[in-house]
Amino acid sequence: MRYVIVILVAAIVALIVGYNAFFTVDPTEQAIVLRFGAPIRVVDRPGLQLKQPFVENVVYFDRRVLDFDPPQEEVIASDTKRLVVDTYARFSISDPLKFFQTVRTEEGARSQLGTLISGSLRRVIGTVPLADVVADRRAAIMKQIRDEVNGQAKTLGMDVIDVRIRRADLPEGNSQAIYDRMKSERQREAFQFRAQGQQQAQQIRADADRQAIEIRAEAEKKANVLRGEGEAESIRIYAEAFGRDKDFFAFWRSLQAYKEALAGQNTTLVLSPDSEFFRYFGAPLGTAAGGGTAPPAAAAAAPAAAAPAAH
């Protein structure tokens, strides 16, 4: 029975010693073996590794690329313009031993890296104007900041792979002031454009009114000319017709006068039977009521009554 107990105790001790004598390094990790807190060696090969039990322990570090988001920084450009800059960085642990001796943990590394980025950011942006940061030379500025930070981070056992400016904005008060100034400038330009538009509209309307007056005047002129030519032609035709047969023309004008005078439905004429107006009702064509050719006075009376119809 005692022999069995000894074997069990020996097995347990062997298991404990074996458990403390071996450790595993993952492919995404690198390790430092410490003896009583002092670094002894760096293990950068993945797999099962051996160490002295109880007197040595292992500290692991990530070998992958790590991200770091430092807090926003308010910096001043060379033209005294203030900027709120938001950055991010990517780094890796290149020398685990130096990393352990300087910053010890990833939290300590991020704190040190934030200080380095902040100082480099202020130095570099302080030498360039605002326009270079937001547009013209932004890529070159980020490269300069990365190179400076990387040079300082190597002393801490880190490689800074990239430092990027995510955003670069004006402070809230400055942004509002610039927005108000831009708004007033746009309002001034809009007022100027509206005034120019109204001036052009007035010029266009005045030109259109002038052209309309000229067109109407020309049309009235042509209408008067055509009307005069028509009246002249009408007079010529009447004169020619009157010259061909004066008696027939006098008779035809009298008929037109009868037509105009008796056109109404309730027309009443009070005339003497031997009135000159009815000279053709009781006498042959070409003679007056008492015989002979119609006197010129009678012929003149008929055209006067029929004049509106002749046109």
Query: DSSP readout, the chain?
Result: -HHHHHHHHHHHHHHHHHHHHEEEE-TTEEEEEEETTEEEEEE-S-EEEE--TTTEEEEEEE-S-EEE-PPPEEEE-TTS-EEEEEEEEEEEES-HHHHHHHT-SHHHHHHHHHHHHHHHHHHHHTTS-HHIIIIITHHHHHHHHHHHHHHHHGGGTEEEEEEEEEEEE--HHHHHHHHHHHHHHHHHHHHHHHHHHHHHHHHHHHHHHHHHHHHHHHHHHHHHHHHHHHHHHHHHHHHHHHHH-HHHHHHHHHHHHHHHHT-STT------TT-GGGTTSSS-TTB-TTSSBPPHHHHHHHHHHHHHHH-
Percent of the chain with pLDDT over 70: 83
Nearest to 81 by CA among 181, 169, 142: 169
In a domain, 54, yes or no: yes
In a domain, 103, yes or no: yes
156 and 255 assigned to the same domain: no
pLDDT digits (tens, 9 = 90+) for 22-39: 889 999 999 999 998 899
Would you state the pLDDT for residue 266? 72
Tokens standing for residue 228? 């005069």
Total domains, the chain: 4
Q: Specify whether 86 is located in the same domain as 128.
A: yes
Residues 54 and 75 in one domain: no
Which is more confidently placed, 93 or 178? 93
CB 90 within 8 A of CB 159: no
Q: What's residue 192's pLDDT?
A: 92
* Alpha carbon distance 82, 253 (integer Å): 105
* CA separation for the pair 33, 39 (Å, rounded): 6
The per-residue pLDDT for 109 is: 94
Q: Which tokens sit at 23? A: 């450790």
The mean-pLDDT minimum among 58-67, 175-184, 295-304 falls in 295-304
Establish if 150 belongs to a structural domain: yes
Q: Are residues 34 and 97 in the same domain?
A: no
In the block, tokens 């400038």 appear at 185
Please report whether residue 77 resides in a domain: yes
**CA pair distance 109, 106, nearest whole angstrom:** 5
pTM: 0.54
* End-of-domain residue from the set 62, 92, 113: 62
Q: Give the model confidence (pLDDT) of 140-198 as tens digits.
A: 999 999 999 999 999 999 999 999 998 888 777 666 667 777 888 889 999 999 999 99
Report the alpha-carbon distance of residue 162 to residue 279 in Å, rounded: 126
Range of the domain at 35: 2-62
In a domain, 10, yes or no: yes
